[in-house]
């Protein structure tokens, strides 16, 4: 499933944004991180319990904008890999979503076969 999410200018650097995608009457929550000019996308589901990660709307980064932080038990994840490096799911990973930039738009390719 390939979908245009938004313009690259819609997410501050550093910053993050949540999206909900509908496909075959199912809703998929994903989020995008913009950091140091690069974009990263993940399924919005903490590997600890499966809840969404954000603190507030579109707030996925810790205070220093160094890690993705889960709001429920404060697990920290590397932005570039989704690897959990602190918290109850240390060693597990967020599920990455392929993302690319085409004509200043963020395009994701969500492989729904594994969801």
Residue from 3, 52, 59, 72 in contact with ligand FES (CB under 6 A):
72
Q: Is 75 in the site for ligand FES (CB under 6 A)?
A: yes
Residue from 88, 90, 93, 95 in contact with ligand FES (CB under 6 A):
88
CA angle, 114 then 73 then 54, to 5°: 60
Residue 10 CB, nearest distance to ligand FES (Å)? 26
Q: Is 86 in the site for ligand FES (CB under 6 A)?
A: no
Segment near ligand FES (CB under 6 A); pick from 26-34, 54-62, 72-80, 106-114: 72-80
Q: Is 82 in the site for ligand FES (CB under 6 A)?
A: no
Taking the C-alpha atoms of residue 64 and residue 44, their distance in angstroms, rounded to an integer, is 20
Site string for ligand FES, 38-57 (x = CB under 6 A): --------x-xx-x------
Name 51's Cβ contacts closer than 8 Å, sequence gap at least 6. 45, 70, 72
Which residues make up the interface to ligand FES (CB under 6 A)? 46, 48-49, 51, 70, 72-73, 75, 87-89
């Amino acid at each position: 499933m390939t979908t245009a999410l938004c313009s690259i200018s819609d997410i501050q650097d550093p910053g993050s944004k949540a999206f909900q995608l509908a496909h075959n009457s199912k809703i998929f929550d994903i989020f995008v991180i913009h950091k140091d000019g690069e974009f990263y996308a993940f399924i919005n589901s903490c590997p600890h319990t499966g809840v969404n990660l954000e603190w507030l709307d579109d707030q996925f980064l810790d205070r220093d904008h160094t890690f993705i932080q889960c709001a429920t038990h404060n697990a920290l994840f590397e932005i570039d890999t989704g690897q959990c490096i602190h918290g109850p799911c240390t060693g597990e990973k967020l599920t990455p979503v392929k993302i690319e930039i085409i004509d200043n738009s963020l395009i994701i390719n969500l492989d729904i076969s594994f969801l």
